[in-house]
Structure 1
Amino acid sequence: MTGKLIAFLSLLALSVNCEHPGIKIKGNYELLEFVKNAVVNFVEEYASLSFENVEATFDIDDGNYKYSLINVSLNALTFGDASRISALPPRVLVFHSTSMGIALGGSYQISSGDSIVNSGDFSAIFTNNNFAAFVELTIQNEVLVAIPTNCVVVGNSQGAIVTGINAYLSPEHQINLNKVVLENLKNTFSSTVCASLRNYLGRSVNNFFATNLAGVPIISTVRMDASVYGPPATVPDFIEIGLNGKCYPGNDSTITYTFPRHALRAFSSSSRMLKLIAGEYTAKTLVHALHSAGLLNVTPAQIAQFVTIPINTLTMSFLMPGFRQYGVKPVSFQISIVNPPDISIASSGVTLSGMAEIGFTVNNNGQKIEALVLESNLTLSGNVIASTSTVGAQITSVQFTLAQKSSLVGDAPVAGLKILLDGIIKRNVVPALNTLLRNGFALPTIYGFNFTNLELALYDGAVELSGNIEGQLAS
């Protein structure tokens, strides 16, 4: 589950070699502190450690005795306030705690030869242990992996509490058994905890990186390859990661694009926890994927939400008498985007341009007749905005040309139709869309976390979204 947290923050997965990433993200010291707290909370709730049996022998006046600790397991693991996570160059994360608490429970057995002298259950609490783990983020076989390069636990027996040992044991046996717990068992902390860390990173976190994030769902029918684009970079209190940023429709991850990848600008001075810059490469692939999924077309039902004026063959016949051949019948129209539109990002706004077809269909007693098809070069301009937890947009300009493509009702008076459509778009469609877009769309909760307190800035060729992270890691 810690892998899910890292995935949410950095969307790390399969790596590909390339010149420039489509997206890059940067987290500051507040983000690292947030990560530390989230990881600590998760580990304290779900940690599990398996200890090997511990044995030691001591001589007492009446003979030689073996003291065994068996079935030792973790009751609780805490880190306290003296814990932090740091980023070190070139790509290392360091977790350090001087207040690690380990509570254990198990059984003890005292034997002499083949005879068991005494047995029972015990518990022990060790406080203020030192723990440090250095984890390198690197690339192996084109996959991001987190490798613990150094890990150590220095157990502290001072102030440790051991309970459950039979009070009727001789003082010598009690002293020896306590010594086995406070020294021999304590000395296994480093190997046990670090082995568990290596196993968890290899089995869960790295497996999550390699198998889950080459296809991050943007919406139900569009995914993004959010894999690492080159090695991550860490400097004191910051981490920066480049991502592939290629969007694709459905499960067609093999699709290739010819869009150029340009170097992304430097991050702004925003003080938010996490900053994300997306370039035009990612924007163009997103628009292409949306078009391939059929999500850029406007259906008659959607148009009816904005155009309340009834359109039928009678009203259309004032412009084109050929519609009279159908009597008085309903007419619907839809807008189909012929090719994936082009998108450009500038500091002044975002522009979409492409070829569209506008089809007028007559419902002739249940028979759908495509009576007229017009072609249009369409240019849509606007701005992208952000509020506390939503991202919205505003359309500022709609420009289009109009030409006839096919007709069953005679030649279209293109100039008159353009005036009619221009009025409908300006008076009905754009205001209704802006009302919807102004409210914005809440960014989804991912693995229990939300992106809040948002700031958005447009630059030539890129958009930057900054914000803070809130929430708790979902199990």
Structure 2
Amino acid sequence: MQITQYSFGQVSLTTTSPDLINFHISGASLKMSGNWNVNYEIFFFSNSDDGTFTADASGIDLDISVRIGMDANGFPTITPTPSCTASIANLRAVVADSGLSFLYNILLNFSNDRIRRTFSSQICPAVKSAMQTQIQRILQNVTLTYPLGLATRVDLTLSRPPAVTSDALTLFSRGRCYAVGEPDAITTVPFPEIPEFTESTRMSSVILSDYVANTFFHAQWNAGTWNRWFYHDSFISSLGLNLTTDTFAQFLPG
């Protein structure tokens, strides 16, 4: 079966503390096409048949809640809850490429309501399955570390599970910088305590602490990126500079 055309209609979402996001889709529609086959037996007569079909569904409504969190590696997770309802207002299916297509289409017209209810009952399991496999696979493979300069990367994985209030979703990213090739290096920079947010007046906001800058400079120092050594031949001889420890005595007393 293949979905050839779809429309999401109107989509809205709400948040519920402590970790729920509620999706509401109304007025969605889709068109499908595919192949079918059937085996049937009537008394001592048995037969098999196959063909193609097209189906149009409209007035699709879906309400589903998902729980957001994080895994052991700091990647976000989405888990559907048992709360899910779905319905299809209109469904029209037509079969073709069979010698008995006309008969099957008559039977489909008589049992349209039953078929519509059957399709409706499969929406929630299909959506939940997609969330648990496809969407979760995408989240686990999303890139959350990025280069910051030539010798440093910044880790944007989650430091704790997302916080959900009645009107906001807050993500807590590590924001830790480390030298390239040393993602597990221990930093001496203390991680700041970021408070929970109980309300928000903005659609989105970002709070950036000095932890990012501090770990960046710490990683640069560990990597020796800014190390510079000066020798006698580092200066132009015509300047008449004689570089010794006494040269810096006036700047670094003791």
Relative to the length of structure 1, the TM-score reads 0.43
The answer to whether the 8 Å contact 1:213/1:225 transfers is no
**Equivalent residue pairs, number:** 240
* Alignment correspondent of 2:58: 127
Percent identical residues: 20
Counterpart CA distance in 1 for 2:106 and 2:173 is 58
CA contact (8 A) 1:213 1:227 kept: no
Structure 2 residue aligned with 1:277: 207
CA distance in 2, matches of 1:227, 1:288: 19
Matched, 1:312 2:236: yes
1:234 aligns with 2:164: yes
The answer to whether the 8 A contact 2:93-2:108 is kept is: no
Q: Deviations over 1:34-78 (max 9, x none)?
A: xxxxxxxxxxxxxxxxxxxxxxxxxxxxxxxxxxxxxx4322332
Shift of 1:136: 0.3
Distance in 2 (alpha carbons) for counterparts of 1:198 and 1:179 = 31
Residue pair 1:74, 1:103 contacting (<8 A) in 2 also? yes
RMSD: 3.8
The one-letter code matched in structure 2 to 1:412 is T
Q: Helix, strand or coil for the counterpart of 2:105?
A: helix
Is 1:146 the equivalent of 2:74? no
Check 1:312–1:92 CA distance in 2 against 1; reply closer, same or farther (3 A cut).
Answer: same
Please list, as runs of the form range in 1=range in 2, the aligned pairs for 1:61-100 lying within 5 A after superposition: 72-80=1-9, 82-100=10-28
- TM-score where L is the length of structure 2: 0.74
In the alignment, the residues of structure 2 paired with residue 295 and residue 248 of structure 1 have an alpha-carbon distance, to the nearest angstrom, of 12
Q: 2:191 aligns with which of 261, 264, 273?
A: 261
The residue type equivalent to 1:151 in the other structure is: C
Structure 1 unpaired stretches of 5+: 1-71, 301-310, 323-371, 373-403, 406-410, 418-475
- Residues 292 and 137 of structure 1: is their aligned pair in 2 closer, same or farther, counting only changes over 3 Å? same
Partner AA of 2:115 in structure 1: N
Query: What is aligned with 2:30?
Result: 102
Name the CA shift for 1:189/1:287 in 2 (closer, same or farther; >3 Å). farther
Give a deviation string over 1:158-208, Cα, whole Å, max 9, x none: xx34345589969875331234565326523443x4444334433344345
Aligned residue for 2:247, secondary structure, equals: coil
In structure 1, what is the Cα distance between the partners aligned to 2:212 and 2:184?
16
Aligned to 2:172, the other structure's residue is in SS state: strand
Correspondent of 2:181 among 251, 262, 275 = 251
Q: How does 1:51-450 map to 2 (within 5 A)?
A: 72-80=1-9, 82-108=10-36, 113=42, 114-116=46-48, 119-139=50-70, 141=72, 144-149=76-81, 150-157=83-90, 160-165=91-96, 173-180=104-111, 183-184=114-115, 186-191=117-122, 193-210=123-140, 215-264=145-194, 273-297=203-227, 312-314=236-238, 316-317=239-240, 320=241, 322=242, 372=243, 405=245, 411-412=246-247
Distance 1:289 1:209 in 2: 27
Cα gap change, 1:263 to 1:103, in 2 (>3 Å)? same
How many Å separate the matches in 1 of 2:100 and 2:134?
45
Cα distance change, pair 99–170 in 1 and its aligned pair in 2 (3 A): closer
Q: Which amino acid aligns with 1:100?
A: A
C-alpha separation in 2, matches of 1:170 and 1:256: 70
Output one character per residue of 1:86-143: Cα deviation in whole Å (capped at 9) or x when no partner. Answer: 2221111122111111211134557554124x65322111111111221101245565
Q: How has the CA–CA distance of structure 1 residues 209 and 255 changed in structure 2, closer, same or farther, with 3 Å as cutoff? A: farther
Structure with the greater alpha carbon radius of gyration: 1
**Residues 108 and 121 of structure 1 are in contact (CA less than 8 Å); yes or no, is this contact kept in structure 2?**
yes
Distance 1:221 1:180 in 2: 67
